[in-house]
Structure 1
């Protein structure tokens, strides 16, 4: 079942999120803000984290204001610290009694005009932001997501992970590594389920690039034809709870034409 958005798009049914507790890592950016709004709209308790405390507070306040009565919290968590990440999970599960999802939106982009100009310092930065944070969140959240019985670990990735270009070596390799790690988590969920459906699902939502209203305002003549709007990404995130775990687990869900 779908409903029409005010901007002309559609949203899926939200039965799978009503009463759920969903954590969002990297919640202060445009995609994170859209995810907070969408998850709160769907009736979820949203636990947001970001390194930028000021922008995080603004994103949390906006989601609360847009959906009066929604429970949306924010915390600055060092996802490069595994112990701190585990503490975030423990604190969240103790407070709300469960965790039904982790949406991983931590990201950055570094690149060059030519392959030979690749700065290996970019790899160091991207390794931490795009890989290490995935490692820490997946290790910390696995148990809680399995206890949920309908948990989701959702990685937002890029088409370049499977179709890298010369100037995006470090970025594409980092995204590919994060995808492989997420698929390993999916296999862990499958093995936990045994002969039954997995108790949680790990999946990858693939975009070419993201666009938001501010970008359109700044570049009014740009077409952004192959870009995914952050609101459509948020819809796709929410929609994964409306499918059985066995249909979502281990999948690469393409929101852009597959190369």
Structure 2
């Protein structure tokens, strides 16, 4: 294990020597070649797709999840699909701010930089009607959707600012902008996480000064997500308006192709805006 970690560190040190080229490269190298991207919630379907896409783009990918078995499977799949890619997994409790800060600091120390945090931690609770809303759902969703985003943003804020091309990406739902009666707790949680992310974007704007931000916080918005397993389990379902997890992963990777000023503080809609 020590030899493997040392090998990774030496490889990334070599990449870091040409950091400026990594983030502005042309002539066959994309903006993610050698970039260091952390992915929170990496073990779910969207996380697996994102690990695969970022590894394909040449990024060093550091995924975290609270489920070590599922995380190991996701990391192994990305490594297998893209031989030679640096993809590692760390079990992190994102409800613990100290653990989130330690994850950010450890990643920056080992790889010399952090160019992105993709926040994919999710969950859903709802009811048939507004009157049947169970406020315990709010307690659960507050932890999953708000508290984890607060912790990752606070932990990675400064490393992303130091990157020179950092991106903080939150995945949200269209329901945050147009809540339905049975989704009060879910929509309110998503809206709160969006507001928190936009506050981070304002911090990046202010820290950039007259030259504009050199890091960005943005929100990618879907109606809902779908993957192959869901289609197999419900072969007659249409999943109208849903975004496939591979399309989401493609959109995530594409954010680094746009300037920080262009995407900072923006809601990037992957579904029609309500």
Fold shared per TM-score above 0.5: yes
Superposition map of 1:91-240 within 5 A: 91-240=106-255
Root-mean-square deviation (Å): 0.8
Other-structure match for 2:7: none
The answer as to whether partners of 1:123 and 1:174 remain within 8 angstroms in 2 is yes
2:212 and 2:124 mapped to 1: Cα distance?
36
Instruction: Please identify which structure carries the higher helix content.
Output: 2
2:237 and 2:99 mapped to 1: Cα distance?
41
Other-structure match for 1:20: 35
Q: CA deviation digits over 1:21-75, x for unaligned, max 9?
A: 0000000000000000000000000000000110000000000000000000001
2:263 and 2:150 mapped to 1: Cα distance?
20
Tell me, which stretches of 5 or more residues in structure 1 are unaligned? Answer: 1-12
2:127 and 2:29 mapped to 1: Cα distance?
41
Higher relative CO (Cα under 8 Å, sequence separation at least 6) belongs to 1
Deviation at 1:225, TM superposition (A): 2.1
SS at structure 1 position matched to 2:210: coil
Count of matched residue positions in the alignment of Structure 1 and Structure 2: 247
The answer as to whether partners of 1:146 and 1:189 remain within 8 angstroms in 2 is yes
Could you say which structure has the larger radius of gyration?
2
Superposition map of 1:31-42 within 5 A: 31-42=46-57
Deviation at 1:220, TM superposition (A): 1.1
SS at structure 2 position matched to 1:126: helix
